[in-house]
Amino acid sequence: MKTLKWMMLFMSVATMSLFTSCDKDDDKGDKETIDTYKGDLSIDGTMTIVIPGTTTPIVNPIGPENLPNQLIEVTKSSTTNKITVKNLTIPGMSSIGDVTIEDVVITPSSNGFDIQPDDFEITVIGSPATVTVNSGIIQNGILDLDLTITAMSGTANVNVTFTGEIQP
């Protein structure tokens, strides 16, 4: 009988140890960091228009224009990264609003983080657009970013560069 009691006690302790965990296992949420950078955004590009009944395109310049105090958010997590240009306004056009690029590859480097070049399909003012990340780096609290936005079936091509400091 004593053996049975000891066996039951041993089985209880062994079973309880299966249902315990360490702090690392308890972390169920995806840790997400959102850093906001404030700086100068430069826009330079063209808008090509073909007037109905004509065959000669009209090429209108967009910029060059420097927009100070622009905000860009960089969201990093273990599952996905994204970059959001907040309240983008292209001179001579209406406000576009937030432009968000999802699934951006951001890799640690010896000096900070590298934003990998890639093309992203997004929607801008209800129309499809392609955003090309040409280059990007986050180093010592400074974001340098170079993008190309092609919209409106290729009739608008805008080069966007940004340099800004992280905001507290």
Average pLDDT, consecutive stretches of 10 residues, N- to C-terminus, the chain (168 residues): 49 47 51 91 88 83 88 91 90 79 92 94 86 95 94 82 94
Cis peptide bond prior to 64, omega within 30° of 0? yes
pLDDT the model gives residue 95: 79
pLDDT of residue 28: 52
At residue 157's C-alpha, the angle toward residues 155 and 161, to 5°, is 165
Contact 155, 49 (CB under 8 A): yes
The b/e string for 105-137 (b: 16+ C-beta within 10 A; e otherwise) is: ebeeeeeebbbeeeebeeebeeeebebebeebb
Using only the alpha carbons of the chain, give its radius of gyration.
26
**At residue 76, what are phi and psi to the nearest 5 degrees?**
-120, 135
Q: Long-range pairs for 102-107 at CB < 8 Å and ≥24 separation?
A: 104/133, 105/81, 106/74, 106/76, 106/81, 106/138
Would you state the pLDDT for residue 51? 80
| pLDDT value of residue 82 | 94
Tokens found for residue 154: 């290729």
C-alpha–C-alpha distance, residues 120 and 159, integer Å: 15
- DSSP for 96-121 reads EEEEEEES--EEEETTEEEEPPEEEE
3-state helix, strand, coil in the chain (%, to 5): 10, 60, 25
* Structural domains for the chain: 32-166 (2.40.128)
Element (H, E) at 37: strand 32-49
| β-pair partners for 161 | 42, 146
**3-class secondary structure, 155:** coil
